[in-house]
Chain A
Amino acid sequence: MQNIDGQIPVKKLRDLLNPLLVPLLAIFTAMVAGGIIIAIVGGNPFAAYWGLVQGSFGSAAALSETAVWATPYIFAGLAVAVAFKGGLFNIGAEGQLAFGAVMAALIGYALPGWLHIDLPAYIHIPLTVGLGMLAGAIWAAIPGALKAYTGGHEVINTIMMNYIALNITSFLLNGPMRDPDPLNLSARTPEIAASARIPTIFPDLRVHWGFVLALLVAVIIWWLLWKTTMGFEIRTVGANPDAAKYAGINVKRTIVITMAISGALAGLAGAIEVTALNYRHELGFSVGYGFDSIAIALLGKTNPFGVVLAAILFGAMRNGGTRMQFMTQIPVDIISVIQGLILLFVAADAIIRFIYRIRVREERVVLTRGWGG
């Protein structure tokens, strides 16, 4: 059952480590299974994993790149996790992310021109990021409202909204928002103004304050979900909408709010990629975040801190995969296989407990209640 009050019982160190034991063993088992696959196709699994570790944690630059990769994963993973907590399946993080990015790019490059003034960074950055968030929130609130007030299922609607977002983005980046530089051949926006750029933390590394913001947002989401009335309402609606209704919670409003928060987080992922890393939005830069974010939310068992750890793991694997391929020529597709296996073993922890003969009573996370409710 879901741990409604969210208290972490700190009785013994063992109790604290227990929730981590199965995921860690799952990761280990998936890596071993991946290693066997690598060996079967004639690669050296130790060289491959050494490359993976080196590429993700082996140097300051590697650590920095891992953080860069993890940042959008944290935001998008949190987005999906919050929706799960509210009993909703947000399969549309990809579209919300794209909308957040487009909006952030627009505010980033065009706002000073519209206002005919140079904005100071302390106004321009929050405005850019905030409106990016808002765009994502609106984009997700629409399927939320449709779910609440017409019963239209959010899974179809968020999938549809993904395709709509992709088309609108393609239209904008090929038309009105296209970089007018005559030498530009890509479907991309102009670069955002210097005043809209989130700085990096260290001079020569790409890791930026957006990563710190991501960690901060994870704490805020935890606080929101477990320490506020709104969070209680979201979790109650997620656990049992009928009970929530009898308890006097406005279920419809809560569904819309949950989706808006979820979309805001996904929009934030896009806005941060634009303001802190790419300085523009370009078609195709958010390939696959929507899908990976579902896996991250699941791996983190929809707990904000679990999501952060899962996002860093996924970020490290995606980042280190390059070095692994460079050193051993093993196709990066193996990373997807290992990620799938990790998810498999975490999900079916009975397999892990069977292999390692662990007897731990673990809470089972109930994410969705099917399509009906």
Chain B
Amino acid sequence: MDWRRFAIIALVIVIMFGTVVVVGISQNSPLVIITSMLATTIAVATPLTLGALSGIYCERSGVVNIGIEGMMLGAAFFGWLASIYMNTVFHQVPMLSLLTGVFVAVLTGGLFALLHAVLSITFKVDQIIGGTVINILATGITGFLNRQMFFGSGSVFGGTVPHSPGVLPSIHIPLLADIPVFGRIFQQQPITLSALALVVITHFVLFHTRWGLRTRAVGEHPRAADTVGINVIRMRYLNVIIGGFMAGLGGAYFTLESISSFEPMMTNGRGFIALAAMIFGNWTPFGAWAAALVFGAAQALQINLQFFRELIPPSLAILQNSYVVGLAPYILTMLILTGLIGKTIAPAADGKPYEK
């Protein structure tokens, strides 16, 4: 990951934040605005980061994963369902219910990933198909089960909305969280913090361990890896499943950390944005995280420009139109991707089944 790319990403984020500070300064202090935008940016980036990490594990080992969306949706549903069962059926305390939910969500992600691995590694099905199957199945299964569980008198919960155990509580980082106003940034929920930790861990694992070297070897040149005694199939299976765990944790964010209920289709395409973030970040954990932050900042920009709508000067009236502002992150992504930063290079064996 070259520094030029990070510099441009940082510049873009600064411009987005700066625009809002300039517009909103008469109503809120710059510190409040920046803190609030940073909080939104981090929140939006969390599932995107985890989704992108999922893609990185899969694709670094040579398996394309467009099923991140489905894995996250499935994990969001089953994790939430598990927490509901623990809370209302088995009468466990909220914390235990939530942790069980996270565990089940991660496991669900892993199971969907196992399906993807079986399809694309063992059966050598085109990997795009494997991902599409997961996306369609996850939509259907979660929608169908959600209906069977919660709607109507004949459903499992008899049509009443069961009391969910709430969301994972914030962790206050000592000292830092006590800073006035800005301390808000250091009060984050566990999945958000884990996402940051996993970015660092993934970077370390991929680039500074034997495991990472082998994973990359399998993704770049499987035949050579095989020759030196690396079990290509096994490495791919394990990496895809680890990728599934990441997507599963990303799914848990939706129903156990952000809000405390499930809605059909609630991932709303974020799995695809995560995929874009992964490619944007050139298949590196820090790059993908930076890309996720750009999407987060763009959403913070949009929310805040609507928030300060009355303060936007007439000369910038175009910014009042939410559709126009909404275009910004996507156009920006395309510009950054194509012109300013140069080519992205995928793992050489990405998408190719390994034949002995």
Contacts and interface: CB of A to CB of B under 8 A. Distances in A.
Interface string B298-313: 0000000000000000
Interface size classification for chain A: 35 or more
A24 interface: no
Interface string A339-356: 111011001101100000
Contacts, number: 158
A163 B333 CA distance: 12
Interface string A85-103: 0000101000000000000
B330 A298 contact: no
B280 to A, nearest CB: 7
A284 B141 CA distance: 23
B275 A333 contact: no
A87 B351 CA distance: 12
Interface string A207-246: 0000000000000000000000000000000000000000
Interface in B301-356: 321, 323-324, 326-327, 330-331, 333-334, 337-339, 343-352
B140 A340 contact: yes
B272 A159 contact: yes
B333 A156 contact: yes
A41 B338 contact: no
B144 A350 contact: no
B276 interface: yes
Given A336-B143, A343-B136, A372-B346, A168 B323 contact: yes
Interface in A24-38: 37
B133 to A, nearest CB: 5
Contacts of B321: 171
Contact of B334 (A152, A155, A167): A152
B275 A156 contact: yes
A171 B343 contact: no
A159 B123 contact: no
A371 interface: yes
A298 B350 contact: no
Tell which of B129, B143, B154 has the most Cβ of chain A within 10 Å: B129
**Looking at chain B, what size class is its interface with the partner chain?**
35 or more
A345 B66 CA distance: 18
A60 B141 CA distance: 32
B351 A295 contact: no
A364 B119 CA distance: 14
Contact of A343 (B129, B280, B350): B129
A170 B321 CA distance: 11
B137 interface: yes
A91 B272 contact: yes
A189 interface: no
Given A159-B273, A160-B276, A351-B123, A150 B338 contact: yes
B218 interface: no
5 contacts: A151-B338, A156-B334, A168-B327, A336-B140, A336-B144
Given A160-B331, A368-B128, 19 more contacts: A153-B344, A156-B275, A156-B276, A156-B280, A160-B330, A160-B333, A161-B334, A171-B321, A171-B323, A174-B323, A291-B136, A336-B139, A337-B137, A338-B140, A344-B119, A370-B349, A370-B352, A371-B59, A372-B345
Interface of A: 37, 41-42, 89, 91, 146, 150-153, 155-157, 159-161, 163-164, 167-168, 170-171, 174, 291, 294-295, 298, 331, 333-341, 343-344, 347-348, 350-351, 364-372
Nearest 7 pairs between A and B by C-beta?
A370-B351, A336-B140, A340-B137, A337-B140, A152-B338, A333-B143, A370-B350
